[in-house]
Structure formats: C-alpha cells, structure tokens
Structure 1
C-alpha cells in the first residue's frame, strides 16, 4: 500500500507540479532576460485570491525569491515589485538600472499586494507610430517585457493590420495598386486606423506588409504568454472613400477632410446597409486567417474627431458594428476612446454595456468620466495622454493623476471604474509618469506623492541620496506640477512646454506646433536651482545610465527655458532694426542652439540617429527601405502632406534631438537671421520646402564623439 502511495505521489510530482510551474514559464524567462542574477533563485506558485482580482505575495527565504500570484500578469508585477523596492533596480524607456546581486535582499516577511481594478491598460494609436513605427522584434520584446513588469494586462496591438486590409480589398475587387493606395506608410498607420487619412506615406510593398504580419504574430504569441490581452482593429465601417466604384449599392458616407483641408478621410459604409455585413465578413475572415479567432477586444470607432453623421441613425450604427464584431468573435468587447465628445451618447445608446469598455484619454486635463456620468454607467479606464507627438519636455501632472483616480474610485461612478492606464502619443520620455500611473492600480488607498517619489529615486538610480530626493521634491512642484487657476480650475495644456529651438522661425513663435504651447506653468528659476542640486550628486552616480540620462534631460529643459529669453531679445533687436544688436543677440541664440545639440548628442536617447537607425533596421532587405527612412524624417518635420505649404501638422511631432537641431533647425534659424539682417522675412513656403527636402536626404546624422571639456562648459553656462 505504501509503495502504491509513493508511486502515486511521484506521478503527481512528475505530471502535476511541472504543469503548474509551466504556467509561469514566461515570467521565469522574463526574469532571465533582464535580471540574470535571479536565475535559478525564483519560485512562482499559484495564489487563490478570495477577494477576486489580481494579487501577489513576495518573500525571500534562504536566498530564494518566493512569488505567489493569481495570474501571469500578477506574477510579472510581483517580480518587478521585488526588483524595484528591495533590489533597487529597474528598466525603463529612458535607461536601465541593473546590477549583479549575489545575496538576495530580504523582504522582512511576506509582502502582499492586490490590484483594485481588473484592467491595467497601455497605448494610444499614436504611440504605435510616434514611438514604435520602426520597431523590430528585438524592440517589441523589450517593450512587452516592460509592460508585463508594470502589470499591464490589456494593450492596443494593431500591428499588421495592413495585410488584413490588403487581402480584404483584393477580395472586394480592388487591384494590387488600388489596394495599396488605401494603405499608408509605416509611420502613419495610426491615423489611418482612426479613420483620419488613407494612403499617405505609402504605397508600401507586399514584403513590408508581410514583415509586419510576421512581427504581429510574434507580438501576439508573447502577449499570450505574458497574460496581456491584445486589442486588435475591429471593423467599424471604415472603407476606401471610393468604395462605390467597386460596390455600387454600398451606402458610403463621405467623411470629408481631416485637419481642415489636408487629408481626404476614408468613408464610412453605413452599418445598416446590407453591404456592411458583406465587407465585415470579408475583413474578419481575413483577420482570423492571419491572427486567429481567440481575440476578445477590438478597437476602432466611426466618426472619430469630427466625422459626419448627418442622416444616420447613430445608435443603430453602433449596434450593427458591435453585433458584427460579436458574430465573428462571440462575447468580444468593443474598446472606445473617451476623447472630446467621443463616444457620443448616441453611440453608447446602441451598445451592449457588458461588452463595451471606454478609455478616458485626457484625464490630466478633463473629467469626462464625471461630466458624462461614468459614460452613462459604462465600464471605463482612467488614463492620461501626457505626451503629444512624442515631443521632448519634462511634463506629467503627477498629483492630478493620483487625485483623479481616487476621486473617480470613491465617486458615485466608482463601480464603473474598471482600470487605470497610460495612453501617451509617445512613450520615450518622462519614465516616472508611466511608472506612477500603472503603480496606482496596486494601491487600494491613495498614495502620498512625496513618499512615492522618494521610493522612485531609489530604484531609478540604485540608492537613496538626500540631494537627489530634495531635487525631485522640487521637480514635482515645478515641471511635474499640476497647475490650476485662482478658482481651482485645471490650466489646460496639451503635453510638455515646447522649445523655441524647434520652431519654424518667425517674429511670433507661439506655439511651435499648432496645438502646443511655449508657456511655462512653473517657476523656471526654482526648477534650475533644483537641477543644480541634482547634478551636485553626480559623483555618487558615476556610470549610472539612468542618472546620466536624466541629467541630460534636466539640463536640456533648463536650456530650453533660457532660450525663450534669448529668442525674445533677438526679436526685439530685429524689430529695433539695429544691425549690431541683431548680430549679437542672434549669435547668442544660435550658440545656445549649438550647445543644446552638443549636449543632446552625448546621450543616445536624445539623438536623431537613434530614430533613423530604427528606420534603417526596419527597412533592411525591403524593396521600400528608402520609403521607411522618408517616413521617419517626414513625420518629425512637415508631417504631411507633401503638397501643402500651409499644413497645420508641420512640426507637430518635432524633436529636440541632437542631429536635428544642428541640421534642419539650425539651417532654418540661420536663414531667418540672414534675412533679418537684410531687413527681410522668410515666407513659410520656403521653410516648408526646406523641410521636405531635408526629409528626402539619406544622412543618418551620426553623433560626433563627446568633448568632455566642452560639455562641462555647456553645463556651467546652462546653470548660470
């Protein structure tokens, strides 16, 4: 009997226990990719959470990290929690703080954490292009690891939709050339998917489309392993504006132009028209062939940002879109953007609420969740944009993030709050803003920002330093403040304050981009003093990638602040028509721009070359490699189109990057000064032509080797 029992026990261990361990295989592999000192020292086991929702425990016992978790996502977050708060290490989009550890730091008993919301969300459609346009699998692997470590369990993932649409249009009778005319270039898919434009930046090759399909399959497989639900692109009625040429009885609503008169928008086939279902069937069949049928969430929405609804029964449109979605993917959820007046009350009226999820986008400035009464009691995720166009700039309304999340949680609409998330247009900036936002999900009670910042500095830089903590506490009251007017109303701002260095030159630069601002909502002198305090701790952080990256970013911001005064002095001199003063003031401004460029060239995170290298790797071996490079340059300069000098989109995604400052931006300002000395101005069309021509050049703008003495002089000048 004992032998039988022993055999059964052994069989249990050989079959059952390994299968349990394999549930967390992806987390073990994740740990090995980023924290090799943990290899062979981690044990992960299932955790039953009686309160429901995600939870984890961590404890170090006999030099082994013991994790219990309710899911793969919770286990990944547990790993990150230990690494950050006990080993004082971290990875980020702007540098990593990693070091070897032989003896695991103790946790002082078992630590328990749980998420008070089921969803931790990430990504904006725009992030796919402003940050990820030219990501290879190596880049995506790191991205997904970061998402998993920060607890993200639902994420926008529309990569590879180009081939879905290409195959759909071929089935609908379009030729190869006609189908490709609808599909945009690799840097512009976001605005196509949102129904804002078609074709711009293309046409792309079949090889490029297939490369994206292969990439997407890897992305989806890894997301599945890490417990992150993908949001794919649903069919919401968007079709080529000329669909009636192929399907005569299709009822297509012309959506006019996007951004005034610049881009012809795709049409919307009326979902109550019989042809809607036919097109939807083809689209979803093609999507299934490429990416499978186990998809639970879909994005995309009709009438986005000014779409036309005249003469349409909007509730029936919404109902038809969702019905079609669920026909092909039973019980799937439609994820909509809470932006401006979207989704309208009429759209919400036609939806099954149990299969609808809304992303509150602009939480740092608006309170749509409250104004719209919890989106009519529909499940929503509170998030913030924080960054538009991935422009450089220190920014993030940190206290506002905290206050609004917990105000929503404790409000009459708290039962509809199902998640928190990040939805930036660009994510390669301000790493603390994304850490804080995703961290909030794991705090049942409202955290104290000062305390949170102290902990952040420790895992960001590897150790506690009083000067660094003091500087950061000033930062949260300056560049990272949450400004309000005398009546307590939020001071509206779309992303960071812009740098005049990046502006198309004129005597009235305000703003740099059409929807940005140059106004500083903080005390620039107070901030500069805090930067000096931060830098005074440099000796304690020699060789620290994160400290050096932040140091460059802080100095860059101070220089950008100071440039406003230098620009103002130059404008006064030009208006005063004093040649000598024009020469001296413009010389000062130009030298500051050159110094800023040299500072930024010293760190790869702030170089044009990094972005262009991504485009080079992305296009390697493709017949349209040059197109990828052109997309990369066009997006960050004139944006598009290439036949409209009056475009309002120019410089929307400008970058204060080394290499860009010393090429296009310097050339623009030099021309401006040259004409000013001659008593002339430069017409916008001439600058536009410069921008288009610059975008066509093949130069990768490789940074020169840093001159330490010159950098020391630049730092000293910045902090004067």
Structure 2
C-alpha cells in the first residue's frame, strides 16, 4: 500500500529588536489562547483542525511592547501546520492570509465565504513582514458606521481586526461619561451639559471640537451604556494583544467653565462648516492657562480608573480639526506651539510614557503654512508623537513636511468620505504610494493603517491595503486579484477572475488628485441641470464586458452572498450611469427647448429607474433606523435617535450644512429620498418657465429634504 504524505505549513513569526524606526508602545498582558475564540466564532471546524499547533509568545516575553513583525512560512511533509507568533493577532493574521491564499476562504465585514479545506502543497516558502504599527481607526467611522452598534456587531468586527493583524485601534467610545464626571466635579451643572454634548450620531465631531448640543445631548443612561460597551470592547482588544488608543484632553470645555473660573483664560474656536454658535464655536481652555493641565490630568486619571489602569500609552487628541488655530491672530506661532506643549504635558503628568496620536488632516485640509506645522511639531519631543498621515494615498503629507520633521508617523489609506458605496479607488496608486514611502519616507515611518470614514463599501481596496502593509515589496496586481476572486467566492472560476480583473482596471484604477473634486454620482445630490456621470475608463466597452460575464457568474455562483453583494454594486453602477447620462440629460435638453411633454415622459421614466436602482441595494434604510432605536437608553432618545440617524445621511445639519455628504445607495433612500427629490425637481420645472436655483434649493429643502429626516421621529 503506498505511503500517504500529509502536507503541512510551518509559519514562524518573530520580532525585529532593532530600535531604529520604532517606538515604545505598551502591550497589555493578553490571553495567549484568545486566537481560538476568534476561529471558533468566524470559521468552520476544519480551520482549527488545519492549524492544530499554534504557539503564541507571552506579553512578558515581548517585554510588554508592540514589536516589529516578520513572518516566514515553510511547507513540510510531516502532517501538521505550526504557527509560532508574537501575539494572538499576529498568529491570526498568518492563519487568515493562508486561508485566503491557499484555502479559498474570506472573512469580510458583511459576510464570509469558506471552502471545505486547503490546497495541498509542498516545498513552499511564505515570506512577508510589516512595520511595527498596524493601525485602524477614524473618528468619523464611529458616527458613520459604528454609531448604532451593540456588542454582537463589535465582536464580529474585532474578530476581523484581529484576523487582519491590526495591533493598534482608535477607541474614543465611552468618554462622555468620564467627561461628565470631570466637568460636574469642576462645578458644571448637569443640565448645562445637554448644551455641550451632542446626540449620539454626532459625537465624532463633538470629540474633535466641531459641534456641541446638536441633536439634544445625551442621557446619563446612554453614557453609561456607551461606557460599558467601551469596557467590553477594550477588554477584548487587550485579550487579543491589540493596544487601544484612548482620548486625552485637547482643550474643549462647556461654556459654563468661563464663569466658574473667571481668572482663567479661554479661547472661542471658530464655528465649523457654517454651523451657528448655538451648535458650534466651542470654548477651549487657553494652553497658556494652568487650568488646561488640571483638567487634562483629572480626565486621564479618571479614564484609567474606569478602564482598568495602565492599559495603554497611546492617546489621541486633535485640537484643530477643520478649524483654524487662532488666538489673537491666524496661525500665531506661539499659540500653536503652546497648544501642542499643553496637550503633551497634561498627558505626561499622568502617564510618563504617553505617546500622543495626532491626525495630519489639519495640516493638509486647512493648508497650514510650513512654518506653522514645524512650530507645532517642534513643541513635542521626538518619540512622544505618532502622526497619522491620514490621506496618504492622495495627499501624502510626509512629502511636504520633511517626513513630519523627524516624528514617527503611519502611512494611512483613507479612501472613503461619508460611506457611499460608489465603486472607486486606485489599487496601483495605493501600491506605488506606500512603496515610495517605504523607500524615501525615512526610518520614522513605523507603520501603515486604514482610516476610512465608513466601512461596508469597496471591500477589495481595503483588503489590498491590509495585504500591502504586510509586504515590503509591491504586490503583483494580477496575481493578487486572482487570489482575491478565489477567496471571495471560495471557487477558482475563470469567469470570476475575469470579472474582478475588469473591475480592478476600470473602477479601481481611478485617477485622483488632491484639489480636484472627489468623484460622486450627482443623482444622490440635490438636482440641477447639465450634470453627468464621468467615469475614467471606456464605459461602453467595460459595461459590455461586465454584462456579458454576468449570466455565467450567476450560473456558477448563484446566491453566494458575497457575489450577490458585488453584483448589486456593479448593476447599480451600470444603471445609475443610464439614469444620469440619459434621463437626467434629456431633462436638461427638454427644459431648454421648453418641451413640457418631453419633460413629463422623461420624469415618469426617471422614477421607474430609481425603483430599478433600489432593487440593487445591499442594505435597507429601515434597518439603520431600527438600530438607532434599539440602542437608545431612554424613551426620549428612542424618539430622537431615528431622526438623527436620517439627518446624518441626508441633510446633515439644521440648514443642510453637510447635505448628502454621507449619502448611501440604500433601499428606502433611493426611492424615498433621492427619487422623491428628483420628482420634486420635475414638478418644479413643469410649473416654472425659468429655473432659479436659489429658490429651488430653499423650496426642496423645506418640502422634501428636511421633512424626510424628521419623518423618522
């Protein structure tokens, strides 16, 4: 009888102990066996059987520090796979990578796809490595995606974070309860805090100093729920060897403190994005005043108490998010420098190992002069600041700041603004941009990360970036796309490879340049004449090829959940192009020709097309609304949260300040909001011989846009 040979993979993970290009990031004492729980929750039983020998180094053996990681895999013919890893999340990334590349399996945000086992190989070698920090987080994601989540959603998402090897995660959730205690301890009345905290949906911008009071504040019960959820999330992150990034004091305080501390100096920040002083223009403690240090120290001590002591030395603060730094004059050198010093000093009073995590967004968005950036950064010692180069794939700030003047930084891919599912991105540009940073960005480039404003869109580009951060060399796109299509559908079909190759070199080959308008489909914005959808590839040829593949794809993949999701996205892109570049342009022509009959017939077809678009939705607006109700802690918040849930995806502001910024191609929105607005536009131009855009805008806001959000009360 012939001998049966069983193939196995030995994956070795070890730390590079060189001090060059690294910082001292605290690593809590994790559960060395926590990887098992992740695999049991997300994968079928054969996965644990496939990886039966996993050895994770203890936190003590790692010196309780996050270290640089390298992974090398060898294939042996001795019957088992062995993983030796620094941390549980390192081990899980190694397993997940093997599952995707050799086992035709994928765990994504929305769903998963698993085959029945792995390919059989021998004499294989796997080599890949990452920088020290693998970061996940954007403050906005906590409002655009995570805002209504409870523990089941968070548990699955943390599993995804661990499977992709992230070792640092932004965690601002739960801080409002801590701030309430601090401010009330300083004499602020509880009722006054309702004029300071925003409602749940807008907390991201409250935390960054942009908004106050909008939506009506938070109840004590809601704050407690958020705090308890944050504790549960943080405990799971620590269990897996992932370091949370907690908030520190950036200066923002309730208005009443100015009366309670009349001898202290305060600064009134500019209002954000045309919001009024009732809901913006926050008060900030002057960095020159001793009260800044007092409040900062009080907050961090209380936060440590609430979250279980010294669990991290990473703290986030963004004192000038989309607001110009000013005291007496724009970009006052002393003011920006003193602000940086005040934030750093207050943090180090409580944690001598404090590392301040700062977004670079302010520098690029508000076009800080180079001297102001240098003045701000020079206030913090090298090694105590970690900068998120937030939008590196389009506007790499490291290139214009001399690599942040020596401070450690992370190359981040932002990609998504607001969370639209419009198919777009540039895989090759991401690949080349990160490689350029690796080659020329300096030794103070110590990591890479994802900083999208929302998830549940364009998953392919994020998986690509995850794999890119684990490689020191460019990824061969054709090979990567083939592997992605196989893992996505758990099948090696030529037609699915063709499908994804077409997408990669059309939708995901988008030219994008800082300063140019971001691509956005005009159908999901307030109607106007003369607009069209302009893609960056040969539309007729590309759409023709895609449509020719769909029958075969349906035949072999049928109701596969991830395929259905991808098919809906593609069919919606094709349909919206027909709507935008046929029906909408015909309306323009008919209005110019004063052809009321043509306007009428075109508008009837337009409404049918919006219903067709809606048939290709991957999510229903009513679930977003129901989720907002389900987390509400009080009867009043069960009334308020649904209205804010609708507001943030539509008018986003009392006067539409961020109108349609976070538009979503969801059932209920496509026909009930966007389609309804276009119908109103049709009625308007049928009733008016001349089109006054100002009059129309005021009217459609009054009759359609604002009523839609409040209809969810």
Paired residue for 1:303, among 291, 313, 320?
A: 320
1:324 to 325, 329, 346: 346
**Cα displacement (A) at 1:525:** 2.1
From 433, 445, 457, the counterpart of 1:417: 445
Cα distance between partner residues in 2 of 1:318 and 1:296:
17
Contact 1:478 1:526 (8 Å CA) reproduced = no
Q: Does structure 1 retain, via aligned residues, the 8 Å contact 2:104–2:118? A: no
* Aligned match of 1:704: none
CA contact (8 A) 1:399 1:482 kept: no
| Aligned partners of 2:527 and 2:677 also within 8 Å | yes
Q: What is residue 13 of structure 1 aligned with on the other side?
A: none
| Match status 1:426 vs 2:484 | no
1:345 aligned to 363, 374, 377, which one? Answer: 374
- Once residues 314 and 95 of structure 1 are traced to their aligned partners in structure 2, the CA distance between those partners, rounded to angstroms, is 45
Change (3 A) 1:375 1:22: closer
Partner of residue 26, structure 1: 34
Counterpart in the other structure of 1:71: 87
> Which one of the candidate residues 680, 686, 694 is aligned to 1:671?
680
Cα distance, 1:64–1:34 mapped onto 2, change above 3 Å? farther
1:358 aligns with 387
Distance 1:153 1:219 in 2: 14
Q: 1: distance between equivalents of 2:415 and 2:637?
A: 33
2:586 aligned with 1:577: no
Using the TM superposition, give the Cα deviation of residue 481 of structure 1 relative to its aligned residue in structure 2, in angstroms. 0.6
Q: Which residue is 1:284 aligned to?
A: 300
- Gapped regions of structure 2 (runs ≥ 5): 1-28, 329-333
8 Å contact 1:120–1:441 — kept in the other structure?
yes
What pairs up with 1:58-457 in 2 under 5 angstroms? 64-99=80-115, 101=116, 104-109=118-123, 111-262=125-276, 263-294=279-310, 295-311=312-328, 312-341=334-363, 344-411=373-440, 413-457=441-485
User: Deviations 1:286-321 (Å, cap 9, x if unpaired)?
Assistant: 222322332211111222222332344322321221
**Range with bigger deviation, 310-319 or 663-672:** 310-319
CA distance in 1, matches of 2:495, 2:663: 33
How far apart are residue 521 of structure 1 and its match?
2.9
Mapping of residues 293-692 of structure 1, within 5 Å: 293-294=309-310, 295-311=312-328, 312-341=334-363, 344-411=373-440, 413-483=441-511, 490=513, 497-507=519-529, 519-535=534-550, 536-565=552-581, 566-600=583-617, 605-619=618-632, 623-641=636-654, 644=655, 647-679=656-688, 683-689=696-702, 690-692=704-706
Deviations along 1:43-66, whole A, 9 cap, x unmatched? 2114799x9722345668776542
> 1:85 deviation in Å?
1.4
The structure-2 alpha-carbon separation of the partners of 1:636 and 1:22, relative to structure 1 and needing over 3 Å to count, comes to closer
What are the Cα deviations for residues 571-597 of structure 1, in whole angstroms up to 9, with x where unaligned? 211222111111222222222111111
Do 2:524 and 2:663's aligned partners in 1 also have CA atoms closer than 8 Å?
yes
Name the counterpart of 2:26. Answer: none
Secondary structure of the equivalent of 2:107? coil
CA distance in 1, matches of 2:132, 2:273: 36
Inter-CA distance 273–246: structure 2 relative to 1 (3 Å threshold): same
Aligned equivalents of 1:55 and 1:452: distance in 2? 20
Aligned residues: 654
The TM-score normalised by the length of structure 2 is 0.87
Contact (CA 8 Å) 2:337, 2:376: kept in 1 or not? yes
Query: Whole-Å Cα distance in 1 between the matches of residues 611 and 172 of structure 2?
Result: 39
SS at match of 1:257: coil
1:228 positional shift: 1.4
Q: Structure 1 residue 386: deviation in Å?
A: 0.7
Q: Is the 8 A contact 1:251 1:269 kept in 2?
A: yes
Whole-Å Cα distance in 2 between the matches of residues 584 and 491 of structure 1?
40
Under a length normalisation based on structure 1, what TM-score does the superposition of the two structures give? Answer: 0.86
- Give the Cα separation in 1 of the matches to 2:198 and 2:402: 37
Residue segments in structure 1 that go unaligned for 5+ positions in a row: 1-20, 485-489, 511-517, 700-720
> Given the superposition, is the C-alpha separation of residues 673 and 469 from structure 1 closer, same or farther in structure 2, using an over 3 Å criterion?
same
Q: Do the aligned partners of 2:267 and 2:286 also contact (CA within 8 Å) in 1?
A: yes
- 1:476 positional shift: 2.0
Note the 1:51-62 alignment, pairs <5 A.
Answer: 53-56=68-71
CA-atom RMSD in angstroms: 2.4
Q: 1:624: how far off?
A: 1.4
**What SS is found at the alignment partner of 2:130?**
coil
Match of 1:253, SS state, is: strand
Residue of structure 2 equivalent to 1:712? none
**Structure 1 residues 89 and 313, CA gap change in structure 2 (3 angstroms):** same
- Does the 8 Å CA contact 1:64/1:104 hold for their aligned counterparts? no
